[in-house]
């Protein structure tokens, strides 16, 4: 679980001018150049699209230009006459070595893949902007925070941590939340997670943590999962991880959507104003649509139904104009305040509760554009914690210092050249001027004779007035490999987090720990973890131990410092910080032939007013005929659109279809899963009969809503704003 150039920059300007010389832009470089080229049939008949098929010499088939589409070329810009057949010595002869078109095409294909990220390999990104609310010149000289209303372009990449690129979207895992700000004074990368703390305190342990969390080296599994001996062995021997374990085992580890999760900078940073005065800050992203998770059984089934669930959700939301928004908040405090805490603000396993230092909202981020090409943007984007701008600076957090070293090294390994900063997705959108030159894939080099400084010929010069300056922090002390004593309390904040959860959220943490530890084969590892839990909450430890079948709950492990009872913090609960509307969510409506057209229309109208999407699930993807004779298009077929894909469901069926549908396995799963996953379920009279036949009582609780008239649609939407009927799970468990 885990886890440049004027205008767009000189690099992109140079690249654009170079490309124009031979007009060999990729077909996806501009909207008017996008083309879908259908493959020719075996018989050479015309295929769909603009380019017809024709037969050339020896009867080969290929697409011919209709003068409306650009001519295909090699990477050298040479026009291609035939992209379907290699050059041969006669119809059945061997392929000739001189076929440079084939050679170039296969050569490029063979080298398409680049090394995936060691962690955060599976990611998804989008473009947008950050809008500053008001001037923050009193605390920072960072340009993007100076002028109210100014918008700064951003690119955000969300990710899972432990799995590879081909893993699923909804494992129990930390989510990466990395934001690249293209400011007027260079790129600033805020590289964070959806959890504000981390497993370890010192970067020296990062390779060990990742090795332990990833698939085991002998078997190569499990993939994108930490329910195995190696991970929990490491955790059981690393008490500093216990706070992070509470977060990861909570519902934070299985978010409903990237759009409905918080983001955190994790570390303590500095902000410095124009006078050189420094304050400490912690960064928070607050989703404007509220927090939301899924339940574990639902997550497992989502991964089977749609492994790209989170990626598709973000893509569709942006394409539908439902642009995700977060507000940026800062916890701001000075040196004196930092020293007053009974923990160390440089310890990345600790938070500052919002009740102690409130979060000041300073701006908002809107994601409003999907990528044009996944590889060029999402895969090649390079984030580095060291990328900061004047007005932002580092703290002495030892994990942050190690990350500053690690990320740059990672980009060189993945992207193969120190010139990765010249790739368009990484290139600053401000002037870039220096004497760095050459290297693999250099798009720009210094012009003129001067490639050094100082020189007599001109060129860029350093600027002591506007250039980046590190905060002149006084440092002293002997060289030592040691952990600060102020980092030694490993359990108090873990206890605070657990105590801050609602009853149902605590139950989920218990269940998650039980599941993970049940996959651990070595009893001593399970016992050590439960012994750690005794320092957090004895009832938690006892419940997990009982669930694991332990005859005796082990005694608490020795704690370096006494465990404190800290006050609960409401901001640590997802349930207590949910949305106030059903905006941005999705309703699945299961229908049959003869569905009540007026009722379906009223549901769609109420949902549209709320900003909620409605998708229809029918017997076939071809849809159904409604009661008024109109055609109702389907978005999914039974079994292809299970209820796990939706935030709430409605069952609208005709009376004469109840018996047959009650025997349909996919329909039964749709209804039973929706109920088991605590969703609000609406139904017409026939739908109530269907629910009853498949074993769900239509009037069992307030989450089951019967539609008698069109006005009930509004009542259903109002109920759905709660997202889940948590009382249903508590009753099921009792």
Strands of 36-94 (E only): list them: 53-55, 61-63
Give the pair of three-digit tokens for residue 437.
Answer: 């030159």
Residue 5 region by backbone torsions, left for phi larger than 0, else alpha for psi between -120 and 50, else beta: left
Q: Residue 420 gets which letter from DSSP?
A: G
Answer whether 230's CB lies under 8 Å from 212's CB.
Answer: yes
Phi, psi of 384 (to 5 degrees): -140, 125
Quick count: other Cβ atoms within 10 Å of Cβ 69?
A: 17
Report DSSP letters for 707-722, one per residue. -SSTTHHHHHHHHHTT
DSSP 86: -
CB atoms within 10 A of CB 127: 20
Helix (H, G, I), strand (E, B), or coil: what is residue 588? Answer: strand
Residues 6+ apart with CB under 8 A from 435: 446, 450, 451, 452, 453, 459, 460
User: Phi and psi for 74 in degrees, rounded to 5?
Assistant: -75, 175
Chain Cα centroid distance, residue 267: 19
Catalytic residue (choose from 24, 120, 284, 508): 120
Torsion angle in degrees (nearest 10) through CA of 440, 446, 448, 453: -120
The reply to whether 120 belongs to the active site is: yes
Residue of 132, 187, 193, 230 marked catalytic: 193
DSSP summary character for residue 548:
T
**Residue 490 known to be catalytic:** no
CA distance 446 to 486: 49
Q: Name beta bridge partners: 62.
A: 54
Q: How far apart are CA 731 and CA 694, in angstroms?
A: 20
Q: How many helices (H) and strands (E) does the chain have?
A: 20, 20
For 585, the token pair is: 């969510």
Residues taking part in catalysis:
120, 193
């Amino acid at each position: 679980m885990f886890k440049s150039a004027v205008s767009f920059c000189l690099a992109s300007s140079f690249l654009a001018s170079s490309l124009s010389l031979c007009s060999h832009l990729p077909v996806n470089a501009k909207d008017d150049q996008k083309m879908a080229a259908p493959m020719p049939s075996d018989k050479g008949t015309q295929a769909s699209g603009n380019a017809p098929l024709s037969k050339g010499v020896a009867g080969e088939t290929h697409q011919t230009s209709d003068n409306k589409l650009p001519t295909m070329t090699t990477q050298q810009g040479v026009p291609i006459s035939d992209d379907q057949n290699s050059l041969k010595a006669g119809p059945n002869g061997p392929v000739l070595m001189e076929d440079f078109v084939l050679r170039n095409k296969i050569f490029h294909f063979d080298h398409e893949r680049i090394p995936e990220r060691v962690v955060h390999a599976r990611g998804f990104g989008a473009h947008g902007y950050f809008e500053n609310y008001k001037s923050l010149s009193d605390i920072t000289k960072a340009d993007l925070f100076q002028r109210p209303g100014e918008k700064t372009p951003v690119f955000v990449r969300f990710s899972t941590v432990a799995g590879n690129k081909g893993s699923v979207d909804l494992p129990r895992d930390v989510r990466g939340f990395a934001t690249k700000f293209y400011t007027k004074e260079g790129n600033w990368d805020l590289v964070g997670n959806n959890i504000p703390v981390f497993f370890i305190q010192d970067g020296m342990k990062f390779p060990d943590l990742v090795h332990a969390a990833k698939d085991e080296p002998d078997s190569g599994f499990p993939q994108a999962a930490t329910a195995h001996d190696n991970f929990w062995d490491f955790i059981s021997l690393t008490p500093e991880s216990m706070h992070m374990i509470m977060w990861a085992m909570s519902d934070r580890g299985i978010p409903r959507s990237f759009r409905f999760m918080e983001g955190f900078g994790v570390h303590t940073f500095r902000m410095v104003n124009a006078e050189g005065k420094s304050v400490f800050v912690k960064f928070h992203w607050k989703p404007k649509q509220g927090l939301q998770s899924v339940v574990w059984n639902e997550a497992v089934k989502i991964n089977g139904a749609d492994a790209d669930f989170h990626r598709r959700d973000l893509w569709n939301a942006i394409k539908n104009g439902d642009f995700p928004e977060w507000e940026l908040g800062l916890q701001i405090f000075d040196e004196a305040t930092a020293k007053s805490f009974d923990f160390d603000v440089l310890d990345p396993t600790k938070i500052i509760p919002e009740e102690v230092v409130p979060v000041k909202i300073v701006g908002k981020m809107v994601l409003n554009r999907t990528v044009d090409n996944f590889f060029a943007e999402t895969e090649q984007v390079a984030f580095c914690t060291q990328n900061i701008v004047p007005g932002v600076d580092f703290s002495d957090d030892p994990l942050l210092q190690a990350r500053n070293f690690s990320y740059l090294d990672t980009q060189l390994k993945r992207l193969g050249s120190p010139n990765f900063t010249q790739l368009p997705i990484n290139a600053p959108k401000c002037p870039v001027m220096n004497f760095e030159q050459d290297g693999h894939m250099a798009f720009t080099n210094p012009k003129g004779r001067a490639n050094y400084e100082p020189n007599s010929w001109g060129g860029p010069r350093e600027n002591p007035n506007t250039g980046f300056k590190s905060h002149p922090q006084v440092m002293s002390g002997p060289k030592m490999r040691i952990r600060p004593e102020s980092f030694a309390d490993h359990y108090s904040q873990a206890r605070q987090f657990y105590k801050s959860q609602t009853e149902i959220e605590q139950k989920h943490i218990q269940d998650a720990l039980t599941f993970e530890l049940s996959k651990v084969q070595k009893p001593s590892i399970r016992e050590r973890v439960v012994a750690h839990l005794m320092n957090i909450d004895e009832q938690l430890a006892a419940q997990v131990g009982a669930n694991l079948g332990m005859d005796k709950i082990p005694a608490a492990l020795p704690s370096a410092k006494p465990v404190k009872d800290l006050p609960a913090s409401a901001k640590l609960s997802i349930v207590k910080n949910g949305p106030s509307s059903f905006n941005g969510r999705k309703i699945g409506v299961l229908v049959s032939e003869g569905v009540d057209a007026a009722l379906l229309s009223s549901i769609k109208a109420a949902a549209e007013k709320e900003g909620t999407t409605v998708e229809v699930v029918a017997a076939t993807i071809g849809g159904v005929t409604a009661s008024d004779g109109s055609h109702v298009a389907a978005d999914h077929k039974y079994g292809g659109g299970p209820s796990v894909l939706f935030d709430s469901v409605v069952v609208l069926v005709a009376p004469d279809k109840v018996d047959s549908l009650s025997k349909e396995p996919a329909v039964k799963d749709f209804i039973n899963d929706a109920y088991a996953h605590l969703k609000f379920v609406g139904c017409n009279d026939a739908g109530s009969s269907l629910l009853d036949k498949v074993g769900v009582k239509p009037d069992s609780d307030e989450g089951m809503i019967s539609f008698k008239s069109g006005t009930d649609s509004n009542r259903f939407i109002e109920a759905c704003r709660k997202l889940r009927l948590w009382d249903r799970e508590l009753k099921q468990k009792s």
